Amino acid sequence: MTATVTYRPLSDSSDSLLRFAMRADATLCAGLGLLLAMAADPLSRLSGLSATSEWLAGAALVVYGVALYVLAAMPFVRRIGIGIVVANVVFAMAVVAVVAAGVLPLTGMGVAMMLATVTATLGLAYLQYLGVRRLA
């Protein structure tokens, strides 16, 4: 008895864009988280936040990045992708609301770093959205 295995080229996969966008999000989050955790003290002087809050944000980003990378490998990724898109948009809106309300003691550089984070988050959310739409 001979087993026949057929391979499809990776370009034939309809979920490759979503998986790529999720893995890019995971990699950037984990990398930024490591940077924040390692350079918490100098970054705290730039941003206006405490070194502890910088370190905690970095640690949370690393955990999120690892979890997202694992989720990107799940067999049925569409529902997960929808959840990640929604979470990214909600996160971005929350950050903009916090910055606009002036709740945190941010410096001008801190505001710029937060808004750069929002821009990157929304860019990745858009890629993930396109990946989800491709699966529909």
Is 8 within a domain? no
On the question of pLDDT at 11 being above 70, the answer is no
Is residue 5 in a domain?
A: no
Asked if 91 and 64 touch (Cβ cutoff 8 Å), the reply is no
Asked if residue 22 belongs to a domain, the reply is: yes
> What is the arithmetic mean of pLDDT over 88-103?
97
Tell me which residue range forms the domain holding 64: 15-135
**Residue 4 buriedness (CB in 10 A; 0-12 / 13-18 / 19+):** exposed
Specify the pTM.
Answer: 0.86
pLDDT in tens, 102-130: 999 999 999 999 999 999 999 999 999 99
* 87 is a domain residue: yes
Q: What is the mean pLDDT of the chain?
A: 92
Considering the domain boundaries, does residue 80 fall inside one?
A: yes
Mean pLDDT for 14-24 is 92
pLDDT recorded at residue 6: 53
Measured distance between the N- and C-terminal CA atoms of the chain, rounded to whole angstroms: 38
Band the pLDDT of 76: cuts 50, 70, 90. confident
Domain count, the chain: 1
DSSP per residue, 90-133: HHHHHHHHHHHHT-S---HHHHHHHHHHHHHHHHHHHHHHHHHH
Tokens 């930024």 locate to 32
The predicted-structure confidence for 29-67, as pLDDT tens digits, reads as follows 999 999 999 999 999 999 999 999 999 999 999 999 999
Residue with tokens 């959205």, as numbered in its chain: 129
pLDDT of residue 31: 97
In a domain, 4, yes or no: no
Residue 56 maps to a domain: yes
Residue 1 domain-assigned (yes or no): no
